[in-house]
Structure 1
Amino acid sequence: MKTLLQINSSIFSSGGQSSQLADQFVAAWHSHHPNARMILRDLAQVPLPHLDAQRVAAFFTAPEARTPEQQAFAAESDALIDEIKQAEILVIGLPMYNFGIPSTLKAYFDHIARAGITFRYTANGPEGLLTGKKAYVFATRGGLYAGTPLDSQTGYVRNFLGFLGIADVQFVYAEGLNMGEASKEAALAEAQQRLAMLAA
């Protein structure tokens, strides 16, 4: 049975344009895989704490030597990693805030990047351990950024996922959403057409 993990990172939860595109893709994909297991993680509804020194120390402390507080910190990260390990399909709703990814998504990434668990260092460099997965990223922007130096998201997200071993990454953009109603409608329609093709 296939498993799909959806991560919405809009501050508007399911009301965000990126969440809505991700939802539409997931619904279309599920119609082709009705027996699949679906996992939704909404980072607006259940935000994760940003990394601090205590959490990092917990990750690097041997399990048998962890304090109760460190065990709780590690368990939270372990649960997130277990979710993504189980998933063959990863779907990310990705709005652009101030030229970057939402801070909640960065916190999520920080919790799942664990040496020896989701990646490891070798004599030939880092090796991702989350292989065999496909990722679909639904990126919504108020302006036009794809293919320009101001698009800090695409390279970062692709590189981060690749670092963990997820090399098959498809981006679907809906841009110009704040540049007038006609621009918004055209961008969303194009994104919806593309996501329908990808889901099939």
Structure 2
Amino acid sequence: MISPLLPKSLPKSRSVPFLVTLFMTIQLSACGAEDFFTAIAPEVASGTDSTIKDITIISGIATGSVIEDVDPDGDNLLEVSGKLEITNSDAEEAAFVAKKINGDYGDLDIDSSGAWNYAADNNQTIIQELDANATLTDTLTVSTVDGTTSTVAITIIGVVDSAGGSNSAAVISGADNSSVIEDVDPDSDNLLETSGKLNITDSDAGEA
């Protein structure tokens, strides 16, 4: 109940504006100095909707590249690594699904923190036949524990192999057949021996 302060002598025809909560103006028709009135304001709903889904934001390193025949550790794998970052106000959902993901040319391993490593077999025909500076793209999809998905794109780059700018098959030539004769042993070591030399030609550096 709200009791306004009114003049003791108020003409009955006079109206007094009264400001209440929510900037609502109520007109009071006074009947006398001792009158009271009650102002009721509608309730305003408040609170949060617990069903609203937290937004997941993925950032970080989502691309990488490898170069044909460039294999520093000698394991015959073309490798590159990176790390994705995840932001979610729900700590339990701020993680990736750790797994190995198979791509078109290689595999990507990712852990729950977003650290990933991609590896492709360098001996794949499609990689070895890449023209100079030609590329292949392997796109792999990763997921977070709340179902949000993102991609990591890896570019495989062909090397400058020859003047012609493309890989070529090796050509083998030279002494490719011979024979020995029973009991013909010039050096008397009781071995029948022959020798020759094969030649290899390959315009790809390091492959001859």
Normalising TM by the smaller chain, what interval? under 0.3
Higher strand proportion, which one? 2
TM-score normalized with structure 2 length: 0.19
Higher relative contact order (CA 8 A, sep 6+): 1
Q: Which has the larger radius of gyration?
A: 2
